[in-house]
Chains A and B, each alone.
Chain A
Amino acid sequence: AQSVTQLGSHVSVSEGALVLLRCNYSSSVPPYLFWYVQYPNQGLQLLLKYTTGATLVKGINGFEAEFKKSETSFHLTKPSAHMSDAAEYFCAVSEDNQAGTALIFGKGTTLSVSS
């Protein structure tokens, strides 16, 4: 069964610092991988996704993630944090199969950004 582990439920960085949010997945077949962001009192918004092809994926708001099959990882990074990046981030995995597909989410990482 597919699963996602997000290391660190809470990450704190200073404005301008590197953001690194860790995600490891477990999947029996090549997975589709996603990062979503949730701002307070809002729904989830897609940051980026990996399906096939280039392993370095660029998303919105300056975020990017690298798919590393050998490490079963899909870590999210941003070179320079901004105060507006403070939110909860979810890594997710899905498998496309005949029975339908669904995103399986990690438990989330709350990102705090201080000035």
Chain B
Amino acid sequence: DSGVTQTPKHLITATGQRVTLRCSPRSGDLSVYWYQQSLDQGLQFLIQYYNGEERAKGNILERFSAQQFPDLHSELNLSSLELGDSALYFCASSVRGMNTEAFFGQGTRLTVV
């Protein structure tokens, strides 16, 4: 158990809908990262938050947004969902930056039908 909790584990929704994925980082970790894993794109970095503030942005679509709350949990919001958004979404946390060890959650598998 990495200590990073992601909910839900599975999500099936229809095109055009909006979903929210939740991540609770390890106790004491201030940085939260979101990644998307798909067969064709591999592991893509989406966004990083550090202590409530956005710190780095990767290949995140405008339809996607995220935030980190005062209690350090994070949510990834995906809207106007398309079939191509079906993927495994991982959250990771670390004490500071990624040069310190990052711990990954087990992921949320999103299926858009």
Question: Which label, helix, strand, loop or mixed, suits the secondary structure of the A interface?
Answer: loop
* A 36-69 contacts with B by CB, 8 A: 36, 41-46, 49, 51
Task: Report the minimal beta-carbon distance from B2 to chain A, rounded to whole angstroms.
Answer: 6
Across the interface, name the chain A residue whose C-beta is closest to B103: A46
Q: State which of B58, B97, B101, B104 has its C-beta within 8 Å of the C-beta of A43.
A: B104
A-B contact count (CB 8 A): 63
Q: A43-B90, A44-B90, A102-B45 are in contact. Are A49 and B58 (CB under 8 A)?
A: no
Q: A99-B56, A101-B56 are in contact. Are A43 and B43 (CB under 8 A)?
A: no
Across the interface, name the chain A residue whose C-beta is closest to B90: A43
Complex contact B101–A102 (CB within 8 A): no
Q: A51-B99, A105-B43, A107-B42 are in contact. Are A43 and B105 (CB under 8 A)?
A: yes
List residues of A whose CB falls within 8 A of some B CB.
32, 36, 41-46, 49, 51, 90, 94, 96, 99-108
List residues of B whose CB falls within 8 A of some A CB.
2, 4, 31, 33, 35, 42-43, 45, 48, 50, 55-56, 58, 90, 92, 97-99, 101-107
A94-B98, A100-B55, A106-B42 known; 15 new pairs, CB 8 Å cut-off, are A32-B98, A36-B104, A43-B2, A43-B105, A51-B99, A94-B97, A96-B98, A96-B99, A99-B55, A99-B56, A100-B56, A102-B33, A102-B48, A103-B45, A105-B45
